[in-house]
Amino acid sequence: MDQLAIIGGRELYGELPIAGAKNSALKVMAACLLTAEPLVLDEVPDLADVRQLVVLLGNHGVICRRDGARLTLDAAAISSTTAPYDIVRKMRASFNVLGPILAREGHAKVSLPGGCAIGARPVDLHLKAFEAMGASIELEEGYVLAEARNGLSGAEVEFPFVSVGATEHVMMAATLARGTTVLKNAAREPEIVDLADCLRAMGAKVEGDGTDTITIHGVSSLHGATHEVVADRIEMGSYAMAVGAVGGELLLTRGRRELLGSAAGVLEECGLTLKEEVRGLRVSRWGTPTVSTSITTEPFPGFATDLQAQFMALMAKGTGKASVTETIFENRFMHVPELRRLGADITVDGRTATVTGVSRLKGAPVMATDLRASMSLIIAALCAEGQTMISRVYHLDRGFERLDDKLRAVGALIERVREDA
């Protein structure tokens, strides 16, 4: 099993490429099931989750070919409408094959996704929306059995709370439904807009993405297309926070300020400078202390929950006290004990953590508990004195492409080593 060895204290300088967004790539990959013609996707990150979805799509008969960052998906014939537990349990995003298969084939059998370390994240919203569109839904031995033998019908779906996954899932299925589907209280994340752009390139009629009301006018069929996956705002925000923690200047290529939502302004309050350029977003912090700033996670354009752990690491060396309130997922402060091992002063009361800035962090052995927590430990390790050993970094490989290579190229002292070495 791999570990990451990091010696802190070095500023970061240079260019760092931002990959296509994992959370967007997984959904536009599932969209290939909506058409019998090839879907060509550019800037697809080479990550464990992406490779796992390729396995699942192959189970459904999709021919997948990768050439660098380009992924070609050909679902000319769906050979199986069943998504088995052994595959779906490994990644929750696998569940989103249900809607496209149901819309195209009229029936689907998909395993319920497994548990999640950062909260239950139920799929009830997805299933209730499909029922509103005329599907019959049954649960049998851990599987969802969905049928709409005469096709799905347009419907008005109002989500009781904002859900990115449910918005994306229903949006895909609605493209092939008869009539018009209106999604109210829809998610507004950049990944929603990216999926809508891909679907429009395939011939879908989608309006209102980026707002809380999305309208989809169903069509009889979709065709092939070429689409470039949007830059990963979580990767971009994470590296920006790394600059904030250790100092320096990075050009985050393909990065755009607007993708960060309110987090961009928060980072500027903390003392960072963000400047948009033709090739990306330039982020710098020169000689000024990190200003402690409080945040509350919210749906986009609010502060992203997927940047909460990283921000806490940035605040660990702030000038005062900062509160970090998590409103999206329960049980998402599991990184706190590990940050404390590095010397961070953090107390937790319910859904709010209070971070009191300290003058220095010190390297120590720590353990990653989930994907975003892994990145928070790296940010803390980059500005800690001495060496930090981070174990269970397989979490990182699910969401950050070539992270150690990218950081090494901009000046970090970081190496991947075998745990038993």
Q: What sign does the CA torsion over 115, 73, 372, 384 have?
A: positive
Cis amide linkage into residue 100, ω under 30° from 0? no
Catalytic residue among 116, 198, 270, 383: 116
- Helix 124-132 × helix 98-105 angle, to 10°: 20
Rounded Cα gap, residues 391 and 2, in angstroms: 7
- Helical H segments across 47-150, by residue range: 48-59, 85-88, 98-105, 124-132
Binding residues: 22-23, 92, 121-125, 306, 328
Binding residues for phosphoenolpyruvate: 22-23
Residues paired with 324 in a beta bridge:
295, 353
* Token pair listed for 320: 């005062």
Q: Helices (H), strands (E): how many in the chain?
A: 14, 24
Contact (Cβ atoms closer than 8 angstroms) between residue 313 and residue 296: no
Rounded Cα gap, residues 309 and 344, in angstroms: 13
Rounded Cα gap, residues 403 and 397, in angstroms: 8
Contact (Cβ atoms closer than 8 angstroms) between residue 221 and residue 203: yes
Q: Give me the amino acid identity at 343.
A: G
Contact (Cβ atoms closer than 8 angstroms) between residue 221 and residue 191: no
Name the burial class of residue 406, with classes exposed (0-12), middle (13-18) and buried (19+) by CB atoms within 10 angstroms of its CB: buried
Task: Write out the DSSP string of 192-230.
Answer: HHHHHHHHHHTT-EEE-BTBSEEEEE--S----EEEEPP
Which strands, in side-by-side order, build the sheet including 273-277? 12-17, 248-253, 280-285, 273-277
Name the burial class of residue 105, with classes exposed (0-12), middle (13-18) and buried (19+) by CB atoms within 10 angstroms of its CB: middle
The verdict on whether 270 is a catalytic residue reads: no
Tell me the CA end-to-end span of the chain in Å, nearest whole number: 10
In the numeric block, the tokens 């033709």 are attached to 278
Rounded Cα gap, residues 114 and 89, in angstroms: 5
Please identify every residue annotated as catalytic.
116
